[in-house]
Structure 1
Amino acid sequence: MRKIFMILAVMAAPVQAQQVASAEGGVLRALDKVSGLSRDVEMQRGETSRVGSLNVTLNECRYPEGNPAGDAYAELDIVETGEENRLFAGWMIASAPALSALEHPRYDIWVIRCSTS
């Protein structure tokens, strides 16, 4: 019983906020699961790039302040070309791509890093 209380006490501890910076762009990796080919896609903030039959828009890319090589996370919108429904709208995290992933039968897309220059 005491171990459970200690675990709950640790879990309830306040989390320190981390300062972040916004980047001018980011690098995504796209995998075509049918052909097995992958490619890196460099994008600027606000830019839309075509990946196969998907249109990917990079809205924002953030990284730990003072550490551009640190854990990046990006806000993306992904839609199928010619469709209205969004396949993905939200944040992807470079260190945990499965946490918030694109669900598509052919393509996988994930964040690699932010671009600061």
Structure 2
Amino acid sequence: MRRLALLPLLVALAGPALGQGAGQGTGSPGSDQGPPAEAGWVAKRVAQLQALDKVTARITVLDATVNQPVTFGTLSITVRACSARPPDEVPDAAAFLEVRDSTAQASAPPAFRGWMLANAPAAHMLEHPVYDLRILDCR
């Protein structure tokens, strides 16, 4: 039953990203900034991310301030928006991320650009041979 309740939220949040294809997107960063206001989300300034290096099995928790890039291995991660549910609702977080790989050509599209959801990490995820990334929380 909970999955059915999340379906409208997933469609609303992932809608712009679904049309972009896996891991690739176009458009200005400001065009997809923030979940719908009517969904009861609260904008936050810091995203807590979990990054995994699949080669070394190293897990790192990163605190990324909105619009300030952080690095993990060869990835440069920029959080463009981060929102969380109010304290009186079921905990959840959503972040709009732009991830670039320094080993890719400068003209290459981002490795990932779109929304990530804490409660549905498989809905829209980074597809990278070495790294895995997910959102844990927005503060």
Is TM > 0.5 for Structure 1 vs Structure 2?
yes
The residue matched to 2:57 in structure 1 has which SS? Answer: coil
1:21 counterpart = 2:42: yes
1:44 counterpart = 2:83: no
**Structure label with greater radius of gyration:** 1
Distance 1:31 1:52 in 2: 10
After superposing on structure 2, the runs of 4+ consecutive aligned residues of structure 1 that deviate more than 6 Å are: none
> Letter of the aligned partner of 1:57 in structure 2?
T
Partner of 2:27: none
Deviates more, 1:29-38 or 1:84-93: 84-93
Q: CA RMSD in A?
A: 2.1
1:96 Cα offset (Å): 0.9
Aligned length: 102
Distance 2:90 2:69 in 1: 23
Cα contact 1:29–1:40 (8 A) shared by 2:
yes
1:25–1:68 Cα change, 3 Å? farther
Partner of 1:105: 129
Q: Percent identity?
A: 28
The residue matched to 2:111 in structure 1 has which SS? Answer: strand
1:65 Cα offset (Å): 2.8
Q: Whose helix proportion is higher, 1 or 2?
A: 2
Distance 1:52 1:67 in 2: 37
Unaligned runs of 5+ in 1: 1-10
Distance 1:106 1:62 in 2: 27
Partner of 2:92: 71
1:44–1:31 Cα change, 3 Å? same
Match of 2:111 among 87, 102, 106: 87
The residue matched to 1:99 in structure 2 has which SS? Answer: coil
Cα contact 1:31–1:109 (8 A) shared by 2:
yes
